[in-house]
């Protein structure tokens, strides 16, 4: 009986143990046996046999049909062929699993050689705990730093050190289904109020206006933050952090009201809060919903779906006449970081350098280069990118700043309270003042 | 009391491996987690000792905590008061009216061996709104009960009951099997004697099956209780504790606090609370059943 009671704890501990064992296994295998013998050989001649090592590469590309997975395997294979003494062991997990696994590993300082983190506030606890190695020196090798877009690395820098290299840089867009728009006789909205009318018109025709995967509550938050970006202009959360504003600011309440107008107009599918990200996106990708607000990373998936050719994009419109559609929700992507405790730090840096140098080239030829964090050379049109992809690429040129997601700006506890508060709006109406208060209370108690 | 006629050292030697494992993997982690409950710690970096602040916050200032406790206890009550009697009743019927009950018992048992993830996904689809192909709502509509349709998992007023139902459904067969086995072990001559005295059918069940089966019922009750206090996977798969904490129980709250809000210390204090609840509840269940057993056996 007692054994049963502590099941949860046991599970957690067993999990931790298994993880740490696995980590030990990976790192230990290469070094312990060969260390003494081969070090000398290395010093002497370049032609000598190098030490056999294994680098663990934790990543979030588990789906073998996903172009990113294919690209990753290709680059890894090429590197292993060039460096026969290095074995790259892939630890591919989906996003949520990876987040939890990394936190568990971090708690016991068993971070894999290469791992994946999210920008700014989300990676700060890891950096504060000195778990990651600074990558400045590695970025200077082979001109890697210059391949990145202007300013993107700032989201991964703390005290002038860069700790992670992003695989993407995206913006928030509204995808729409041209065919369904035609059926309902509606045009692309240029204001938020028009968008609410479009929702009503679609609804009247029996067409599901918008899709969202609100079980993963960041999806609703991402959209809400875009409304806030319009009513307030960029930098609201930073102003809150700097103590210049509170969540009870009129701009925040206005955003909460506008956002609820959209929900109350029946924009989102019934039971939206039980749809996870993929299920929500699938509604749009199978032509069952007319609009879908998401980061530009969704472009590739939509292109390979059944509605390819029927889908278009538009910029998120102004709200109550406020805001600039050329200010976007910016989504600097998940990024690769290297463990400070890595047993093979130089080799790991060398590999990641090689990986990132080749990443843009390979993604470009795999038609996945929309929303990369690195500069891509080549003619997209000639390479066969779709019209929608070209539209998205053009929008990138219009970007005049914007905001990053809530959980990239605020600490995790405040972010969770925010996500809950927004998710709640999908199931019941709440006074804007209450929403503001919930946010302010959570922010103050978690400062 | 040395029934085995071996030295105490030998006994100690044989107990040792289990004891060591138990201490290492159950007892020590509980102590460690109790200690982390006293910390202000995000699970990764520096930690700060803050005494009982986490517990104070949890017990007196957290608007989400007590509702989660209530839902957890409701979960336990539903399993104990609906699931077990139902399982016992089923077992009695099976034992009395079905000639070769093994096939039926195994079929009822089937959901218990399925992965919770499979069960969760299955019922999620069944509970979906009709427009998304939800079976339950479509059936309700087709028999003219439109007003009964709900978005079962996202309407905060019914979401939790939808989850209780799935849990009861999944483990009904499991408890039926346990009870069925218990009933089969009751010697049939007792029933024959009772028959002569004029007790048959439900009357015989009330006076014979129920009291004779008490130790087995206790097993079921304890399993159901502990299982529902720890219910985590089903809720995680089906609602993730949402919408907006409406289906959070103690364990999902603990998970969300520790891993999503990154308040590891606070999560640990919730875990400590869960351990205490389990201990207290087990103590009372044992107490009640010891009395019952003494009375009837």
pLDDT tens sequence across B30-81: 998 899 888 888 877 778 888 888 888 888 888 889 999 999 999 999 988 9
pLDDT of A57: 95
Q: Do A103 and B44 lie within an 8 Å CB cutoff? A: yes
**Hey, are the CB atoms on A427 and B259 less than 8 Å from each other?**
no
pLDDT at A10 over 60: no
A447 touches chain B (CB under 8 A): no
Contact at CB, A5 and B242, closer than 8 angstroms? no
pLDDT of residue B1: 52
The per-residue pLDDT for A18 is: 44
Higher pLDDT pick, A41 / B212: B212
Provide the b/e sequence for A131-143 (b: ≥16 CB within 10 Å): bbbbbeebbeeee
Contact A8 B30 (CB under 8 A): no
CB contact under 8 A, A125 and B44: yes
Q: Could you check whether A11-30+54-168+333-365 and A170-331+386-445 share the same CATH topology? A: yes
**A186 shares contact with chain B (CB less than 8 Å):** no
B297 pLDDT tier (thresholds 50, 70, 90): low
Query: What mean pLDDT is predicted for residues A72-101?
Result: 91
Mean pLDDT over A42-57 rounds to 67
Residue of A nearest to B264 (CA): A107
Nearest CA in chain B to A416: B261
Mean pLDDT score of chain A, rounded to an integer? 86
B116-127 helix and B135-142 helix, angle to the nearest 10 degrees: 30
pTM value is: 0.80
Tell which of A15, A19, A268, A273 to mutate to test the B interface (max B CBs under 10 Å): A273
Res. A109 pLDDT band, cuts 50 70 90: confident
Q: Which domain holds residue B174?
A: 62-296
Q: Which residues contact A244 (CB under 8 A, 6 or more apart)?
A: none
Interface test with A, best of B27, B31, B41, B44 (most A CBs within 10 A): B44
Summarize the confidence of residues A105-127 as an average pLDDT.
90
CA B137 to chain centre: 28
- Alpha-carbon distance A198 to A210, whole Å? 10
Yes or no, beta carbons of B279 and A5 under 8 Å apart: yes
**Residue B102: band (very low, low, confident or very high) from pLDDT cuts 50, 70, 90:** confident
What single string gives the DSSP state of each residue in A195-246? HHHHHHHHHHTT-EEEE--TTSTHHHHHHHHHHHHHHH-TTHHHHHHTTS--
Distance (Å, whole) CA A316 – CA A225: 11
- Residue B86 falls inside a structural domain: yes
Q: Tell me the chain A residues in contact with residue B158 when contact means C-beta distances shorter than 8 Å.
A: none
**B34 falls within a domain:** no
Chain A window 264-323: which residues touch B at a Cβ cutoff of 8 Å? 269-274
How large is the average pLDDT for residues A120-124?
88
Interface of A with B in 78-107 (CB under 8 A): 99-100, 103, 106-107
> Is residue B56 in some structural domain?
no
Q: How confident is the model at residue A92 (pLDDT cuts 50, 70, 90)?
A: very high
In a domain, B25, yes or no: no
Query: B99 or A199, which is more confident?
Result: A199
Residue in chain B nearest A410 by alpha carbon: B261
**Highest-confidence range of A25-39, A179-193, A353-367, B270-284, by mean pLDDT?**
A179-193
Q: CB within 8 A of A351, min separation 6: which ones?
A: A55, A57, A79, A83, A86, A88, A114
Residue B263 lies in a domain: yes
The residue whose two tokens read 């099941």 is A7
B50 in a structural domain: no
d(Cα A444, Cα A330) in Å, to the nearest integer? Answer: 26
Rg (CA), chain A: 24
DSSP state of B41: -
Chain B residue numbers with beta carbons less than 8 Å from the beta carbon of A421 are 244
Two tokens at B266?
């606070």
Nearest CA in chain A to B259: A100
- Please check whether residue B95 is in contact with residue B181, taking contact to mean a CB–CB distance below 8 angstroms: no
Residue B131: closest C-alpha in chain A? A270
Residue A279: pLDDT above 90? no
Would you say residue B2 lies in a domain? no
Tell me how far apart the alpha carbons of residues A402 and A212 are, in angstroms, rounded to a whole number: 22
pLDDT-derived band at A428 (thresholds 50, 70, 90) equals confident
Give the domain CATH number at B276: 1.10.3720.10
Query: Quick check: is B163 in a domain?
Result: yes
By C-alpha distance, the chain B residue nearest A110 is B44
Q: Which residues face A164 on adjacent strands?
A: A337
A9 touches chain B (CB under 8 A): yes
Q: Using CB atoms, which residue from B42, B240, B254 is nearest to A125?
A: B42
Bigger pLDDT: A220 vs A4: A220
Question: What residues of chain A lie within 8 A of the CB of B18, using their CB?
Answer: none
Fold of the CATH domain A11-30+54-168+333-365: D-Maltodextrin-Binding Protein; domain 2 (3.40.190)
Q: Quick one: fold of A170-331+386-445?
A: D-Maltodextrin-Binding Protein; domain 2 (3.40.190)
Q: How confident is the model at residue A33 (pLDDT cuts 50, 70, 90)?
A: very low
The answer to whether A434 contacts chain B (CB < 8 Å) is no
How many distinct structural domains can be found in chain B?
Answer: 1
Chain-chain contact of B230 with A126 (C-beta, under 8 angstroms):
no
**Residues in Cβ contact with A45 at an 8 Å cutoff, skipping those fewer than 6 apart:** none
- Whether B131 sits inside 8 A of A10 (CB atoms) is no
Say if residues B183 and B170 touch (Cβ distance below 8 Å).
Answer: no
What band does B3 get if pLDDT is binned at 50, 70 and 90? Answer: low
Which residues touch B99 (CB under 8 Å, ≥6 apart)? Answer: none
- DSSP result, A139-163: HHGGGHHHHBPTTGGGGGEETTEE-
Q: Would you kindly state where each structural domain of chain A is located, as residue ranges?
A: 11-30+54-168+333-365, 170-331+386-445
Q: What is residue A206's predicted lDDT score, i.e. its pLDDT?
A: 92
A 121-180: CB under 8 A from B: 125-126, 128-129, 131
Alpha-carbon distance of A282 to A211, in angstroms, equals 9
Confidence of residue A49 (pLDDT cuts 50, 70, 90): low
| C-alpha to C-alpha distance for A77 and A71, rounded to whole angstroms | 10
Binned at pLDDT 50, 70 and 90, residue A441 comes out as: very high
pLDDT mean across residues, chain B: 87
Determine whether the interchain pair A103/B43 forms a contact, defined as Cβ–Cβ distance below 8 Å. yes
Q: Is the predicted pLDDT of residue A14 greater than 50, yes or no?
A: no
Contact A416 B226 (CB under 8 A): no
């Amino acid at each position: 009986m007692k054994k049963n009671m502590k099941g949860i704890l046991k599970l957690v501990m067993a999990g931790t143990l298994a993880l740490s064992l696995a980590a030990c296994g990976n790192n230990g295998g290469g070094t312990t046996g060969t260390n003494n013998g081969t070090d000398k050989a290395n010093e002497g001649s370049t032609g000598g046999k190098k030490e056999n090592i294994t680098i663990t590469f934790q990543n979030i590309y588990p789906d073998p049909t996903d172009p990113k997975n294919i690209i990753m395997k290709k680059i890894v294979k090429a590197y292993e062929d060039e460096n026969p003494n290095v074995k790259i062991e892939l630890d591919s997990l989906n996003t949520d699993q990876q987040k939890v696994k990394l936190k568990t590993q971090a708690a016991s300082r068993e971070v894999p050689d290469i791992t994946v983190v999210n920008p700014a506030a989300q990676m700060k606890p890891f950096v504060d705990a000195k778990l990651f190695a600074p990558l400045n020196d590695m970025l200077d090798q082979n001109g890697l730093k210059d391949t990145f877009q202007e300013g993107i690395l700032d989201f991964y820098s703390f005290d002038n050190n860069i700790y992670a290299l992003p695989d993407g840089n995206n913006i928030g867009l509204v995808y729409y289904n041209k065919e369904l728009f035609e059926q309902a006789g509606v045009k692309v909205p240029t204001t938020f109020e028009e968008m609410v009318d479009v929702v009503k018109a679609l609804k009247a025709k029996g067409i599901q206006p918008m899709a969202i995967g609100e079980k993963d509550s960041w999806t609703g938050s991402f959209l809400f933050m875009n409304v806030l970006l319009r009513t307030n202009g960029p930098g609201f959360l930073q102003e809150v952090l700097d103590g210049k504003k509170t969540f009870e600011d009129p701009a925040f309440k206005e955003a909460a009201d506008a956002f609820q107008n959209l929900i109350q107009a029946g924009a989102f599918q019934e039971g939206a809060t039980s749809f996870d990200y993929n299920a929500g996106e699938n509604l749009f990708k199978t032509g069952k919903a007319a609009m879908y607000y998401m980061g530009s990373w969704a472009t590739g998936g939509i292109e390979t779906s059944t509605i390819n050719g029927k889908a278009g994009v538009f910029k998120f419109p102004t709200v109550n006449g406020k805001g600039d559609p050329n200010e976007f929700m910016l989504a600097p992507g998940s990024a690769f970081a290297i463990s400070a405790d890595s047993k093979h730090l130089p080799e790991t840096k060398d590999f990641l350098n090689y990986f990132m140098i080749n990443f843009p080239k390979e993604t470009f030829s795999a038609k996945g280069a929309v929303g990369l964090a690195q500069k891509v050379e080549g003619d997209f049109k000639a390479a066969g990118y779709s019209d929608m992809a070209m539209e998205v690429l053009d929008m990138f040129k219009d970007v005049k700043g914007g905001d990053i997601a809530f959980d990239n700006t605020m600490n995790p506890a405040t972010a969770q309270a925010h996500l809950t508060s927004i998710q709640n709006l999908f199931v019941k109406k709440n006074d804007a003042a209450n929403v503001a208060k919930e946010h302010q209370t959570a922010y103050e108690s978690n400062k | 009391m040395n029934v085995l006629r071996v030295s105490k050292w030998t006994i100690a030697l044989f107990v040792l491996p289990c004891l060591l494992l138990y201490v290492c993997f159950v007892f020590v982690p509980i102590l460690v987690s109790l200690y982390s409950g006293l910390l202000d710690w995000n699970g990764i970096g520096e930690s700060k000792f803050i005494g009982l602040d986490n517990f104070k916050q949890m017990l007196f200032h957290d608007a989400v905590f007590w509702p989660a406790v209530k839902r957890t206890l409701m979960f336990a009550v539903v399993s104990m008061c609906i699931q077990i009697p139902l399982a016992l009743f089923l077992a009695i019927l099976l034992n009395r009216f079905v000639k070769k009950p093994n096939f039926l018992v195994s079929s009822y048992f089937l959901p218990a061996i399925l992965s919770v993830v499979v069960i969760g996904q299955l019922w999620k689809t069944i509970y979906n709104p009709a427009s998304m192909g939800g079976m339950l709502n479509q059936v309700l509509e087709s028999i003219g009960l439109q007003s009964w349709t709900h978005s079962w998992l996202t309407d905060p007023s019914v979401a939790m009951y939808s989850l209780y139902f799935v849990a009861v459904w999944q483990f009904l067969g499991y408890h039926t099997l346990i009870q069925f086995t218990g009933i089969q072990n009751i010697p049939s001559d007792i029933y024959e004697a009772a028959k002569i005295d004029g007790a048959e059918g439900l009357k015989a069940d009330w006076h014979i099956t129920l009291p004779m089966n008490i130790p087995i019922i206790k097993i079921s009750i304890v399993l159901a209780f502990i299982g529902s206090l720890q219910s985590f996977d089903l809720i995680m798969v089906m609602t993730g504790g949402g919408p907006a904490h409406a289906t959070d129980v103690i364990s999902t709250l603990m998970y969300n606090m520790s891993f999503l809000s990154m308040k590891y210390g606070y999560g640990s204090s919730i875990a400590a609370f869960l351990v205490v609840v389990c201990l207290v509840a087990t103590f009372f269940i044992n107490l009640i059943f010891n009395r019952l057993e003494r009375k009837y056996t």
